[in-house]
Amino acid sequence: MASISLKNIIKCYGSGKSATQVIHGVNAEIADGEFIVIVGPSGCGKSTLLRMVAGLEEVSGGEVCIGSRVVNDLEPADRDIAMVFQNYALYPHMSVFDNMAYGLKIAKVPKDEIKTRVDKAAKILELGGLLERKPRDMSGGQRQRVAMGRAIVRQPQVFLFDEPLSNLDAKLRAQTRLEIQKLHRELGITSLFVTHDQVEAMTLAQRMMVMNAGVMEQFGTPEEVYNRPASTFVASFIGSPPMNLLKSAPDGKSGLILGIRPEHLDISTSGWPLKVEAIELLGAERLVYATLNDERVIIRCDEHQPAPAIGSTIYAIPRADKVHHFDATTGKRIS
């Protein structure tokens, strides 16, 4: 196991005046054994950053350190990392055992050691009864576990996950998230996990790195990112539904954007006048979509509150200790 240090990481495509910079000076210190999630929308640079750690993309500037080594110029095979991809990348003609053992055979690991490692990984991932099966005879979730097993047997210093759950249905994604959490508790290997799914980020991360257009907007625990977003981008990206961001709230100030999460607005007999446009029922709760001075406002209500009529005017009061302020020009948080 090892720590990871990212020091002013820059990535450019092309050269000279025509070069396009896609990663803009990312700095992060990741402790030995931490599980870090890199999250952001498509095209934000999260997979590019992961691939630079893996050695699959060249670093244009800065240093990537794994443990005490600067690995910028090392080949992927020399970095002591194991990567799990979105598409599983299993050999269809090989059994589960042979898929998991293949890398060890190439590395000329003794047969007895290979069997020991594969059996141990299969036990951790509950694949013990499937070792003779071919990938075509397995579900998507089982194939993804085989891909993780192939990484585990390598006994690397670092795990790199590149959107490994995006091919699974919702139920399997939830189940596999639990398996990944269990796996990390048992092995304690430093892990970087890339996803565009904020639910995966919030549930898996010990700390999360929120990326936007090649810039690391915030790096902190899920609680810090949710409760104290560093920018309007983070506030709108993390949270479902997203934070309400209002330029014309009655108690807003010039040059500021007021932020309030839907669950922190209370329907009352006075307060902000909101015109109800739609109601969305979500089992134990409902979302009320309304407008305030032509800006969209969402309120999260529990099932016991009576649903307001569409087209009616209701009043809501923001909880004072849950109000956020952002600079209207930069979008950055104002303490």
pLDDT in tens, 254-288: 889 999 999 999 999 999 999 999 999 888 899 99
pLDDT band with cut points at 50, 70 and 90 for residue 175: confident
**Cβ-Cβ contacts under 8 Å for 165 (sequence gap 6 or more):** 144, 172, 173, 176, 177, 195, 197, 200
Res 1 pLDDT > 80: no
Q: What is the pLDDT of residue 89?
A: 80
Among the residues of 188-277, which ranges form H helices? 198-204, 222-227, 232-237
Matching residue, tokens 């299969």: 122
Comparing CA positions, the residue from 316, 311, 275 lying closest to residue 299 is 316
Lowest mean pLDDT among 17-26, 63-72, 92-101, 172-181: 172-181
Report, as an integer, the average pLDDT of 291-307: 89
d(CA 105, CA 107): 5
- Identify the pLDDT of residue 39: 97
The percentage of the chain sitting over the pLDDT mark of 90, rounded to a whole number, equals: 70
Question: What pLDDT does residue 182 have?
Answer: 87
Kindly give, in sequence order, each residue whose CB lies less than 8 Å from that of residue 259, ignoring residues fewer than 6 positions away.
229, 232, 235, 243, 244, 245, 246, 323, 324, 325, 326
Q: In sequence order, which residues have a C-beta less than 8 Å from that of residue 234 and are 6 or more positions away?
A: 210, 212, 217, 218, 225
Tokens of 108: 């000329």
Which pLDDT does position 250 carry in this prediction? 64
The answer to whether 57 and 51 are in contact (CB under 8 A) is yes
The pLDDT score that the predictor gives to residue 249 is 65
Joined tokens for residue 69: 């080594």
Has residue 177 got a pLDDT over 70? yes
Average pLDDT, the chain: 92
pLDDT-above-70 percentage for the chain: 98
- The rounded distance, in Å, linking the Cα atoms of 291 and 297 is 5
The confidence score (pLDDT) of residue 165 equals 85
CATH 3.40.50.300 fits 4-229, yes or no: yes
pTM: 0.89
- 251: pLDDT strictly greater than 90: no
- The CA angle 228-234-239, to the nearest 5 degrees, is 80
Question: 223: phi > 0 → left, psi -120 to 50 → alpha, else beta; which?
Answer: alpha
**Domain 241-334, what architecture?**
Beta Barrel (2.40)
For the chain, the domains span 4-229, 241-334
In this predicted structure, what is the pLDDT of residue 252? Answer: 56
Taking each helix axis as running N to C, give the angle between helix 96-106 and helix 140-152, from 0 to 180 degrees, rounded to the nearest 10: 20
Is the predicted pLDDT of residue 253 greater than 80, yes or no?
A: no
Burial of 167 (0-12, 13-18, 19+ CB in 10 A): middle
Does 327 have pLDDT greater than 60? yes
Sorted by sequence, the CB contacts under 8 Å of residue 294 that are 6+ apart come out as: 248
Q: What pLDDT digit, counting tens, does each position of 47-67 carry?
A: 999 999 999 999 999 999 999
Q: Which of 150-154, 167-171, 192-196, 241-245 has the lowest mean pLDDT?
A: 167-171
Lowest mean pLDDT among 45-49, 59-63, 123-127, 234-238: 123-127
Element (H, E) at 118: helix 111-124
**In this predicted model, what pLDDT tens digit does every residue of 71-122 receive, in sequence order?**
999 999 899 999 988 777 889 999 999 999 998 999 899 999 999 999 988 9
Same topology between domain 4-229 and domain 241-334: no
